[in-house]
Chain A
Amino acid sequence: MTLLVLSMMSLVLFTVYVREDETGPLHTVQLGAAEVLQPVRSVSGAVAGPLNSTKESVEGAFAKGGDLEKLREEARKNQELAAQASRLKRENDQLRELLNGQREFYQYGPLAEVVAPIGGQFTDRITINVGTKDGVGSQQPVVVGNNTLVGRTTSKVTDHTAEVMLVTDQNFRAGVRIVPPAEFDPASGELAPAVTEEETSYGEGLLQTGWEDYLGVGFVDLDARTEKGDFVVTSGRAGDMESLFPPGLLVGTVESASSQDIEQYKKIVVDPSVNLDDLEDVRVIVDW
């Protein structure tokens, strides 16, 4: 009898939670807990840095069956990338100083630190240390630098914290278009007028992460011209509706594009522009 009553109570809790809005009692409890736990999460985040590296190594070893040569190759590439990143960072700092860290027409929240990841088997989310007191609201784009999209805020925003759904979360969706390198400047985020043939149709679709565990663009027509190395940027709309994201935010580059006659759409795999497991500072675009 007790078991039955408590089961019913659990169902009631679940129903209330999904029916109430973000100011409801159960959401308020969770938001309050997130606020209280923020200092502890900050400390654990600092301590967990080395742990994350170990975790990535373990994941890599399990995922690829310990392919030593492949790992060595990746290590070489990483060293090259680290050198390149160091140079780019210097350039970026200089440019940011020139631009005063802002991209025209966008209104950014203050620079936010990633406090901690949020666990969950079916989600990929993080907590950042800005909230409503900083002008941040729900459903706003979150970027690295000026215009590299990494996710969006969810409805869980407290005075000083906000939950961010990363682009690799299986429930993240964004309308995107694919543009060739000649038409997009990733540094400034400016889309240049079409320089290739006007008749060419580039891909346009929905950014999503499937259970096959890759970030991809779905619903891209088979006849769309999409090549490896093309940029994937937000289109500012999803179908006929306006999207949560302004147009021109960089998501990544096309890693592979393949199509089979039997399929209705192309299979496009996207390589994100930033390592989402290693985010430190982000900004929320609060208006545009």
Chain B
Amino acid sequence: MDQWAILRAAAAIAVAAAMDAVVAPYLDFGWFSPKFTILAIVFAASGLRHLQGILLGFFGGVLLDALGGGLFGVGAVGGLIAGAVSVRYGDVMTRGAARFTLSVLAGIAVAAYDLVQLAAYNLLGLEVPSLLGYTFSGMLPDAFLNALLAYLIGGLLLRTIRKDGSR
């Protein structure tokens, strides 16, 4: 993968982080909202080497924290997890199924991000819903809908990040 590809991946994540800060609040349906940065990290990191993918995920998450205004560190962990699952399981993807596999991974990454966020708020002693209730009415629907969103925009993301559009 050439340096331009890494730059394209970083640019896609930066755009996604800006969208999370500016556009996503208008698409916030209670506990569901699109997590553009997490989705972009999963798609961007899948084609990278292990270290590159993980670093991209971490710094993408930090960017999300900086622009988003939430608790700093939550996005960093979320991005790190997204980058890690993407480079780890991106390796075993079969040709032609990249979009579907990455969408599933995006759902998993979003679920992990939601849990980290819940834990962070809980650690601070802020009001949070119960874990069981949140898992079924918040985290799982959020993960599913984000996975669906990832599948819908996945083709575009893959074309943007990689010139050949496939793995």
Contact = CB atoms under 8 A, between A and B. Distances in A.
Interface stretch (A12-20, A78-86, A237-245, A261-269): A12-20
Contacts of A120: 28, 68-70
Contacts of B70: 120, 123
A33 interface: yes
Contact of B71 (A2, A18, A171): A18
Contacts of A37: 18, 21-22, 67
B73 A11 contact: yes
Contact of B26 (A44, A121, A171): A44
A9 interface: yes
A3 interface: yes
B97 interface: no
Interface string B46-58: 0000110011001
B29 A44 contact: no
A118 interface: yes
Contact of B80 (A6, A156, A171): A6
Nearest to B78: A10
A204 interface: no
A156 B31 CA distance: 23
Interface residues of A, number: 43
A58 interface: yes
A44 B71 contact: no
Contacts of A117: 25-26, 28
Given A13-B72, A33-B66, A55 B26 contact: yes
A44 B72 contact: no
Interface in A192-233: 211
A10 B22 contact: no
A29 B67 CA distance: 8
A119 interface: yes
A31 to B, nearest CB: 9
Interface in A56-77: 58-59, 62
Interface of A is mostly: helix
Nearest to B62: A13
A118 B138 contact: no
B26 A10 contact: no
A182 interface: no
A59 B29 contact: yes
Interface string A17-35: 1100000001001100110
Contacts of B133: 211
A116 interface: yes
Which of A48, A116, A120: most chain B Cβ within 10 A?
A120
A34 B69 contact: yes
Interface of A: 2-3, 6-7, 9-18, 26, 29-30, 33-34, 37, 40-41, 44, 48, 51-52, 55, 58-59, 62, 116-123, 156, 163, 170-171, 211
27 contacts: A2-B55, A6-B58, A6-B76, A10-B58, A11-B77, A13-B62, A14-B71, A14-B76, A14-B120, A30-B72, A33-B69, A40-B18, A40-B22, A44-B22, A48-B26, A51-B26, A51-B27, A55-B27, A116-B22, A119-B21, A119-B68, A120-B70, A121-B138, A122-B118, A123-B70, A211-B127, A211-B130
Given A9-B76, A40-B18, A116-B26, 9 more contacts: A3-B54, A6-B55, A14-B77, A18-B71, A51-B27, A119-B25, A122-B117, A171-B127, A211-B127
